[in-house]
A and B are shown apart, each in its own frame.
Chain A
Amino acid sequence: MALLKKKTVRSVDIPTASQADLAFLLLLFFLVSTIIDVDTGIGLTLPEYIEDPETVEVPKDRMAAVLINENGDVLVDGNPTSIFQVKNNLKPRIVSKIELPSNKKLIVSVKTDRKTNYNAYIQALDQIKQAYFEVRDEYSSSNYGNKFNDLSVEDQEIVKDKVPIIISLAEPEAVKK
């Protein structure tokens, strides 16, 4: 006797209707936990550490001494200045030295007291950097018709050569007791 096999076709589909929901859930998790944090800040290169550095005299007209005391008062070359005027003060001096050889460019020396507030120091440094960036931008737009950041790498190098950022950090004076 032949056995009649009864075949029942079961559906073996995995339900995919909720797949989108699952994916959304994961997506939400990553959306929430993402910190796209870009590091921003003021870049600087420190000088190498030398035990007893030899001092070199720098001609006065090459130097711009920015002094910030513990009260946040700013002196530029001995003249009291508002911290927001530092940029305007330095810009013409940087511009006037664009065409000079690289050993005659302006050096900005920043000096603080040990008790000076860090924020005041950053504000001053920011002003100095802004002065340099604006001079670079102006030089670029008058010579290449574009802002510094939009120039090609070679042109940027030329501008960097013309307007180098030289910032000297003097060691803070100990606060007199």
Chain B
Amino acid sequence: MEFQKKRAKVKLEIPTTSMPDIVFMLLMFFMVVTTLREVDLLVEFKLPEAKAIEKIENKRLVSYIWVGKDKRIQVNDSIIKMNEVQSIMYAKRQSLPNIIVSLRVDKGSDMGFVTDIQQELRKAYCLRINYSATVKI
């Protein structure tokens, strides 16, 4: 007896016409959430680790101060001196009254240096600060 080859009578095709739409949707999502790096980091730093960490919900309010291993302070796109911190941060506070200053300080820094920055911030009335830290697992 010969076996008869049975051919499937149904066409098996996955419709791919909507694939571009799906991909575009994904694309849109990533385009929206992407923040291309706004500033070039000029200092080198390693953040400390901590457990009791809070998220800053409102990113619009955040302004960063970087402090590198070599004790250089960066605000926006430039390295600044300690005595310029106050005027710059005060100007920022003028345009954004409830500003949160995120201190991205290298974990090897001295507290004296950090305190000096804090004093400048207090004089500039930037009172809400956040010690940036990564999550300790």
- List residues of A whose CB falls within 8 A of some B CB: 16, 19-20, 23-24, 26-27, 30-31, 33-49, 68, 112-119, 121-123, 125-127, 129-130, 132-133, 169, 171-172, 175
Chain A residues with Cβ under 8 A from B50's Cβ? 41-42, 122-123, 125-126, 129
Give the dominant DSSP class at B's interface. mixed
A119 to B107, CA, bound (A): 5
A45 pairs with B62, CB closer than 8 A: no
Q: How far is the CB of A177 from chain B (nearest CB, A)?
A: 13
A20 pairs with B30, CB closer than 8 A: no
B37 pairs with A23, CB closer than 8 A: no
Asked, given contacts A33-B36, A116-B110, whether A46 binds B20 with beta carbons under 8 Å apart, the answer is no
Option from A20, A36, A42 in Cβ contact (under 8 Å) with B23 = A20
Chain B residues with Cβ under 8 A from A125's Cβ? 50, 131
A122 pairs with B55, CB closer than 8 A: no
B33 pairs with A34, CB closer than 8 A: yes
A43 pairs with B106, CB closer than 8 A: no
Q: How far is the CB of B99 from chain A (nearest CB, A)?
A: 12
Q: Which residue of chain B is the closest to A133 with respect to CB atoms?
A: B52
